[in-house]
Chain A
Amino acid sequence: MLTQSRTIPTVFIAFFLACLLNTTISAQGQAANPNSQTSFAPTAGPQYVGSDTCKTCHEDQYKQIEATQHWNTNLANLKKGTGQEWHGCESCHGPGSAHVEGGGDKSKIFSFKGATAQQVSARCQTCHGTTHPDFQRSVHYQADVSCITCHSPHQAKEQVALLKAKTPTLCYGCHTDAIADFNRPFHHRVNEGLVQCQDCHNVHGSLPKAAKISTAQDQICLKCHTEKRGPFVFNHLPVKTEGCTACHVPHGSNNPRLLTRNNVNNLCIECHGLSTFLTLHNQANKYQACTMCHVAIHGSNASDVFFK
């Protein structure tokens, strides 16, 4: 079995290298990706005018940008060997000469307002593509949620990451179901500020979708709940095959321990209530809680029935 499973990484690495080779070859003779920076390179059309020209009319916006890291694009030595398309306001809005010559004609320059997520993310990814390479494969992107839905380069409320609001307030704007979840009696301490949405979720996209994985490639829950990670000699199989959410509701619940059912026995018997399961204990007057004996239900190194 070990040998057989090795074929997967071998094939994968081969494919990986093939992609790399293909990319290298293609780089020599093809035009750039529409998502790459050169798609905004100067053409025969509008020319770059420089941020100081923009400031003439857009002083407020300039001041806002000046207080952020984006202003650093004005520094000439930021990207050695790159052109003016990397600099200042026009690094995001594109060349502005036509806009200036048109007396501020909004149709002559790229405006983020009203642009699709596809267009917005293409602009932002020019610089941030390395940091968030999977955004265009994210659930947010597919739902036409763009970078500026959450981030505001000009009017950020939060200096860190230029967010429009603090998390979780920002996330609650769309995910109203999470508001209810995190106000349930039993909940992860998100509203209290201890846990943040991005601790578990990769909002910029990943595989698997939505939830992160830990550094050891486990479910993200095990990043904090390390004692349940194992590996164990004796495994409770659904913990591994279906994950934590087979029994727990991660955001919040009216049931203790964020369980999907109000008492442990209901939860256990749904799976273990087989007609041949003779050892199923009397539910009426003793052994009221399965986990009273089966305390190591997530996995054990000493008991095949999870007693210790």
Chain B
Amino acid sequence: MKANSNRIYSSPPRCLEATKKESGWRVFRRVMTLAVAGAVLCLSANLAAQQLGVDVTSAQQESGTDLGNYHTNFDIEAGYRFVGTEGNASMYSTWVNMQQGPRILSSDLSMRSLNHDGFLFDRLNMSSFGYGGDPETATRLTVSKDKWYDFNFTYRHDLNYWDYNVLANPLNPVNPYVVVNQSPHLMQPSRDFQNYDLTIMPESRLRFRAGYNYNGSQGQTDTTFHAGTDILLVQPWRVTGQTYRFGADYRIFSQTTISYDQTFDTFKNDTFQVDQNQMFSLQNGTPVDIGLPFNPAAGLPCSTPFINGSYNPKCNGDFSYVRSGPVRSFLPTEQISLHSSFLKRVDLTARYAYSSGYSQVTNYLEEFNGLESRTNQREFAFTGPSNTKRVLDDGDFEGTWHITNKLAFSEAFRFYNSRSPGTLDSVGTSCFPNGGTSLLSGIGVFNSPGVSPQICLNGSGTPVHTGSSPADVDYVNYYRYLNLNFKYNTADLEYTLNRRVGGHIGYRYADKQANSNNNLSNTDAGTAYFYPNDAQRGAPCTQTLADGTCVVMTPVVTAGDYYAITENWGILGVWVRPMDTLRLNGDVEIMAANGAGGVLFTRIEPRNLQHYKLRGRYTPKKWLAVSGTLNWIESQNTGPDTDGTITANHHDHNHYAGFDISMTPRELISFDLGYDYNNVVSTTDVCVNLGTPSLAADPCYADSNGANTFAIWHYQNTVNSVYFNVILRPTKRTAFAAGYYLVDSTGSDPLFLPTTGIVTVANPLQPLGSLSSLYHTPSASLAFALAKGWEAKGMWNYYDYHERGNPGPILPRDFHSNTGTIAVRYAF
């Protein structure tokens, strides 16, 4: 190793003298021993964000030690966590989920070669946290050897518990009282993420990259399915996504690099659903699932669910339900890109990616055994493969012309074009009772010689249909197509007046087109078979078979929706540094959109938008920093809807303002204080079914035969957040920290009915939940230095959640929890 000698001054290379190689087996052995020990410790330990409170001496302050050719810093923190929770434990687990037990709270290892030329690596940094049972666990590792390689590895594990009981809850009326206290869409899977990235010869003219991502998620989840009533399904979750990446960068000449990337994304979903919620029984003792909604007055699951203590067999119910449809997707993507700043005053960057892949479901199967009283189905099955392709072109080009040292013009163009044709060739078969509409009825047989498959062969007698019954056998070929063609162009003029003031002004044009035949008015190619001599439920027979079976063939109609939306944006940004200690940034974006026929993608998509941002940071002293943010968004959509007589008349605003003050006036004290205000208001004109007929004067009356009522939906949410953190170091051996965070949320979502002047809510049983709540989380921690490198630590966290107002007809979600952690930290 030799330092550069091509200089006009020379001095002894003292820095190099101290970095002689300690070569040989001894060094290798020490390095390997340390690396293995570090790996073991860090893979069983944790740090970074989960580090416990405050430290007497930060890891950076530790002097470290020289081991062989490596200067090494190491830090580990292990302890025990105590948890006491009162109130809604599910909510605690959804938001916090810290559980009791021993933990290795954090660990850090950093090694750097003293002579910048290590045997296997020059640098190694590894940090990890959460091992031993915390909900979030991670290890992050970077290893590099100068010009030979860079390697990054991340492992993350997440216990994703989710049970907020308001969501998807049927909110059964209190009387009769059948309460659903747990979210029907509960989730408690664990997720594992792994990421490997290797760059070979990172500083060479030609460098290679390879990588791999793993994203696996599995565990217990619940879901629901609508079959007359809404039944709870157990859903063992098993989803895996993997990405393989290969790439190379070639510096064709100075400041000009061309890159190629090849990725393969694979995905498989083996999640299935099964009903295991047969909690009631018929008079004959057969277990039956009556569904989650229980509101006899509204006919759920029927008007008289129980007779003599047993479930009424004429009501909706489910003996068994199972569904599985493993998904397999493969999306290879190629990307080529160019970056160049070789030209004297021009920077260029360009990228083009092409992706052509598919998603398939080859073995879809769904089977129901029960009763759907409206359609009179006693059993049904649904199967059929689906196949969806996706071809995608995505690219961008951006060039910047540095007209002068102060003035630059940039032009950026991006396009995204995807075509996604999909097919589902489904076969639906239904068996109907051979007697009355009842769970106790057997099923009739449909074995027409002209129809395949012959169904319900384990039944007997004649199936009985109603006017709402679907076909006995129904083949449907669904053809769907989605084409998105988006283009964006931004022209921007940047000017730097001096080191104090600068800014940019620009114009962006967006052209967004979508062709979709995904709408419900489509007719798909189908052949439906209706039982002989029975009502074909309104459809005229295309053909009648010899035994009287009615065949209805439907030609495919692929007319779909077409959207063509243009957006015009004005962009302005200014930065000001009136003094070195103050930085101010202001940005304004104003947009106006229009669509073919005046229609946008959705009713609430902004037709006009104004976005104002102001950020400032003032650091008058090294120990004092004041930051502030103002973020103001206003949007409106007062244009026409896709159909109907009313317009959305949508107005939305999102106002945010906040500041943060950080002070460290002396080493023995530091302080952090902040306040944030956020206000979201949205009003939208809607037609909504409130369960009572609307008046003839109501704008929604005519189109809905009085079913819908015109309403102005008003959503409002104001959140005030306050926080402070203080750290005290009263002696050289002690450190103390305390913190507090408060989130105060208020809100409402009333309906104003202009026709009658009434202000109401859609569902009086619907609680506001966390929209109107108070959540505060104080904490305190103490660290005491026992000896050099050793610290004893303790931390207390308190979580308190309280909802204001009516909790709804379910278990309240309030909780409070004390979490205490004691730990020992060792660092060198």
Contact = CB atoms under 8 A, between A and B. Distances in A.
A215 B265 contact: yes
Interface in A185-214: 185-186, 189, 191-194, 207-208, 213-214
Given A31-B344, A160-B142, A185-B801, A38 B254 contact: yes
Given A55-B11, A216-B333, A275-B687, A270 B713 contact: yes
B12 A215 contact: no
Interface stretch (B310-318, B348-356, B532-540): B348-356
Interface in B223-240: 223-226, 230, 239
A238 B3 contact: no
Nearest to B426: A302
B346 interface: yes
Given A1-B419, A216-B331, A271-B604, 17 more contacts: A2-B419, A8-B395, A31-B344, A33-B255, A50-B7, A52-B11, A52-B14, A179-B721, A226-B215, A230-B388, A231-B389, A257-B167, A262-B749, A270-B682, A285-B295, A293-B225, A301-B386
Q: Which 6 A-B pairs have the closest CB atoms?
A: A193-B49, A273-B686, A133-B339, A284-B691, A233-B422, A180-B676
A24 B2 CA distance: 35
A44 interface: no
Interface in B164-214: 164, 166-171, 173, 184-185, 191, 193, 203, 213
B357 A34 contact: no
19 contacts: A49-B7, A49-B9, A77-B2, A88-B3, A116-B496, A129-B255, A144-B575, A159-B125, A183-B741, A207-B351, A215-B213, A237-B518, A237-B601, A254-B745, A273-B685, A274-B687, A275-B700, A289-B170, A304-B518
Interface stretch (B482-490, B543-551, B818-826): B482-490
Nearest to A274: B644
B707 interface: yes
A166 B5 CA distance: 37
A246 B602 contact: yes
A217 interface: yes
B170 A288 contact: yes
A280 B708 contact: yes
Contact of A15 (B323, B357, B397): B397
Contacts of B801: 185
Given A234-B480, A276-B643, A226 B267 contact: yes
Nearest to A86: B4
Nearest to A238: B602
Interface string B714-729: 0101010101000000
Contacts of A263: 166-167, 749, 766, 769
B688 interface: yes
A274 B168 CA distance: 23
A270 to B, nearest CB: 5
Given A1-B515, A52-B11, A235-B482, A269 B169 contact: no
B375 interface: no
Contacts of A179: 658, 660, 674, 676, 721, 723
From DSSP, what is the main secondary structure of chain B's interface residues?
Answer: strand
Contacts of A246: 602, 605
Interface in A220-275: 223-224, 226-227, 229-235, 237-238, 240-242, 246, 254-257, 260-266, 269-271, 273-275
Interface in B116-153: 116, 122-123, 125, 129-130, 135-136, 138, 142, 144, 146-147
B362 to A, nearest CB: 11
A159 B112 CA distance: 10
B343 A26 contact: yes
Contacts of B323: 308
A267 B577 CA distance: 42
Contact of B173 (A32, A176, A186, A285): A285
Contacts of A22: 343
A93 B521 CA distance: 67
A225 B55 CA distance: 36
Nearest to A296: B223
A130 B257 CA distance: 7
A280 to B, nearest CB: 5
A3 B26 CA distance: 66
B167 A50 contact: no
Nearest to B519: A237
A301 B185 CA distance: 20
A107 interface: no
A216 B617 contact: no
A238 B424 CA distance: 21
B345 A33 contact: yes
Given A237-B601, A270-B604, A280-B687, A264 B9 contact: no
Contacts of B721: 179-180, 183
Nearest to A193: B49
Contacts of A193: 48-50, 129-130, 136, 138
A254 B770 contact: yes
Contact of B340 (A23, A100, A191, A217): A23
B9 A97 contact: yes
Contact of B224 (A32, A157, A174, A292): A292
A228 to B, nearest CB: 10
Nearest to B660: A176
Contacts of A271: 602-604
A23 B617 contact: no
B438 interface: no
Given A48-B8, A52-B3, A215-B263, A286 B298 contact: yes
Contacts of B116: 71-72, 75
Contacts of B496: 116, 118
A9 B355 CA distance: 12
B347 A180 contact: no
A58 interface: no
A54 to B, nearest CB: 9
A173 B760 CA distance: 43
Contact of B415 (A8, A276, A291, A301): A8
Interface in B722-763: 723, 741, 743, 745, 747, 749, 762-763
Interface in A1-48: 1-2, 5, 8-9, 12-13, 15-16, 19-20, 22-24, 26-27, 30-38, 47-48
A50 B12 CA distance: 11
B773 interface: yes
Interface string B642-674: 111110101000001011100000000000001
Contact of B687 (A125, A177, A273): A273
Given A180-B676, A226-B215, A307-B226, A288 B766 contact: yes
B478 interface: yes
Given A52-B15, A256-B164, A275 B703 contact: yes
Contacts of A234: 422, 424, 478, 480, 518
A293 B273 CA distance: 14
B366 A308 contact: yes
Given A55-B14, A242-B605, A276-B644, A264 B251 contact: no
Contacts of A8: 393, 395, 415, 417
Contact of B417 (A5, A88, A134, A227): A5
Nearest to A4: B485
A84 B583 CA distance: 35
A242 B484 CA distance: 11
B255 A273 contact: no
A53 B743 contact: no
Contacts of A61: none
